[in-house]
Amino acid sequence: MAEGSEDPLSAAVVSRDRSTLDMVAEAVKHNQTMLAYQPVMQAMAPHDIAFYEGYIRVLDATDRVIPARDFMHVVYDKEIGRELDCLALQHGLRALAKSPQIRLSINMSARSIGYRRWSKVLDSFLKKDSTIGERLVLEITEASAMAAPELVADFMDRMQEHGIAFALDNFGAGTTAIGHFREFFFDAVKIDGQFIRGICGSPDNQAVVRALVGIAKQFDMLIVAESVETQAEAEFLVSIGVDCLQGFLYGAPTVSPPWLENMKQRNRA
């Protein structure tokens, strides 16, 4: 390759990322965002829904719903990523305000803690309804929490008075120092799906998950297993002490709030 020429693969990646960034920016500009909801189930009887997780979605120029996995890696460290966190929180808090019977978790980045608009969204809803925080779970990825542990720990401490719960997302995928659990106020951990998928046929994953469950229990944290796809996986996870289960076995994320659909079905019955 001639000196100064651009690697075609790198150029293609840059072009794709720029296109993705433009798509997200347009969606935010025109308020074309929403949440998709997935249930998180109690592992033990009566196997009720413990809470729902809300995932941010954007609409592209053709009104297709684009999942976060297709754009978050491009925007997470940019200001548009903070705007998406604001919108996700706003959508989630509106859902909680309209439906007082549900609990909902929303993903956030530690970078958004100091973002003024994000804080204003949270504060405004807490002032309108002092009980709304008791039904809100904020999920922070392991990598994000460890990028600014002091900032995250201080924020969690301040939010305790509002009853907000915190979940450590992607548990096991990052490099969390166990000692930091003493500093944080995580109420729950969500074991990363890479260790759950196909766990029944993987002794290595079984050993990893058993270890993660043991750590979480030591710190009295609720344990959620992500990406549960089969009944056999669910039964194994319950047998080793997992508290809640989430995955396609119980339903894919949907932009139609499932609790409203359930109410419609009951009314028709």
Characterize the bridge pairing of strands 136-141 and 65-67. unpaired
CA distance 152 to 95: 25
CB of 223 closer than 8 Å to CB of 42: no
How does pLDDT run across 3-51, given as a tens digit for each residue? 445 677 677 667 888 999 999 999 999 999 999 999 999 999 999 999 9
| Opening angle at CA 237, ends 236 and 239, nearest 5 | 65
Bridge partner list, 126: none
CB of 191 closer than 8 Å to CB of 172: yes
Q: How many residues does the chain have?
A: 269
How does pLDDT run across 163-197, given as a tens digit for each residue? 999 999 999 987 656 667 777 889 999 999 999 99
Rounded to an integer, what is the distance from CA 120 to the centroid of its chain? 21
> Has residue 214 got a pLDDT over 90?
yes
Q: pTM for this structure?
A: 0.92
Q: Among all chains, which residue has been given the structure tokens 């809300």?
A: 54
Q: In the prediction, which pLDDT does 17 show?
A: 86
CA distance 187 to 219: 9
Mind listing the domains of the chain with CATH numbers?
16-264 (3.20.20.450)
Containing H/E element for 138?
A: strand 136-141
At 125 the three-state DSSP class reads helix
Query: What does DSSP assign to residue 109?
Result: -
Q: In the prediction, which pLDDT does 13 show?
A: 67
Bridge partner list, 225: 191, 245
Query: What does DSSP assign to residue 7?
Result: P
Q: In the prediction, which pLDDT does 242 show?
A: 98
Query: What does DSSP assign to residue 56?
Result: E
At 190 the three-state DSSP class reads strand
> Has residue 1 got a pLDDT over 50?
no
- Give the pLDDT band of residue 108 (cuts 50, 70, 90): very high
Q: Which of 80, 73, 66, 53 is nearest to 190 (CA)?
A: 53
Query: What does DSSP assign to residue 233?
Result: H
First-to-final CA distance of the chain: 69
CB of 250 closer than 8 Å to CB of 43: no
